[in-house]
Amino acid sequence: MTFPPGPAAPDGDGPEAVAARFTGRTVAGVRPLSGSLAEVTLDDGRVVVVKRTEGVEAARAEAAGLRWLAAAGTVRVPAVHGHDARRLVVDRVAQGPPGRDAAVRFGRDLAALHAAGAPAFGAPPPGGPVEAYIGLAPMRNVTGDDWPGWYAEHRVLPYLRRAVDDGTVRAGEAGVVERVCERLPELAGPAEPPARLHGDLWNGNVLWGADGHVRLIDPAAHGGHRETDLAMLALFGCPHPDAVLDGYRQVAPLADGWQERVGVHQLFPLLVHAVLFGRGYAEQALAVARSAAAG
């Protein structure tokens, strides 16, 4: 099923006009949060967030991703009110402190989300573009049936090449990542079906709701390997990580050796960060690749 973007909003419209257009409500107040985000209070007391995205397809990709995750009926996400080429309007999440019970529940819900599946590795959400984004970096949702080959070709190597072209990874250093890609069939572990991934599951995109339920925001949703979401969650830290894993494994045990594969799955987000943020992340990616290649 596809979702139409709704009426176009002129680029000059402010967040209050965009929120009114997509919710059909009168605006009672606006509070800027950053250069790209604003909270808008509606006349019925609800609060929505208006987000300006960078790429022309980024809002469509994010809206489609949120709806695809919501359709699984597992992890909660903010409701999408509408989007145009560059703006997205979603419900605000009232946040609270992270707790262990919420972390266990989140782990169970994340396992159920992954089990909802995808048509293929790299499959975009229904209505989502092939030319999508992960954060501010372009990400192509090209499909494949074989995870090791698909992951190398469409998730690791494009960002490695960009990092080399930019000088963030030196040409002589790229070989260690390429060797890991060549060895992926033996490093990947048991074959698994495509999972429905959030795709950019770092802690900043995990909101701990005041009602005790986690909400996920800013997805780069696609069909992938479930261990990639878990590896990204571990990469930048998450409250109560053991509780999240406990909840996850109550629903879907992980394949033997998953701990040794974490670095392989972290190559993708680390190289994305190297492209966006520079040499420090490139060094982390190279260290992970050396460890994987030596294993």
Catalytic residue among 84, 109, 200, 218: 200
Q: How far apart are CA 262 and CA 240, in angstroms?
A: 18
CATH of 15-91, one of 1.10.760.10, 3.40.50.300, 3.30.200.20, 3.10.620.30: 3.30.200.20
List where CATH 3.30.200.20 sits in the chain.
15-91
Residue 19 φ then ψ, to 5°: -60, -45
pLDDT of residue 56: 78
- The helix/strand/coil state of 233 is helix
List where CATH 3.90.1200.10 sits in the chain.
100-294
Q: How far apart are CA 18 and CA 81, in angstroms?
A: 10
Q: Is 43 marked active-site?
A: no
Residue 280 φ then ψ, to 5°: -60, -45
Q: How far apart are CA 168 and CA 278, in angstroms?
A: 6
Tens of pLDDT along the chain (295 residues)? Answer: 233 334 444 445 899 999 999 999 999 999 999 889 999 999 999 999 999 998 778 999 999 999 999 999 999 999 999 999 889 999 999 999 999 999 999 999 999 999 999 999 999 999 999 999 999 999 999 999 999 999 999 999 999 999 999 999 999 999 999 999 999 999 999 999 999 999 999 999 999 999 999 999 999 999 999 999 999 999 989 999 999 999 999 999 999 999 999 999 999 999 999 999 999 999 999 999 999 988 7
pLDDT of residue 103: 98
pLDDT of residue 12: 52
Q: How far apart are CA 122 and CA 112, in angstroms?
A: 19
CATH superfamily of 100-294: Aminoglycoside phosphotransferase (APH), C-terminal lobe (3.90.1200.10)
- Beta bridge partners, 208, equal 214
pTM of the model: 0.93
Whether residue 194 contacts residue 223, with contact meaning beta carbons closer than 8 Å, is answered with: yes
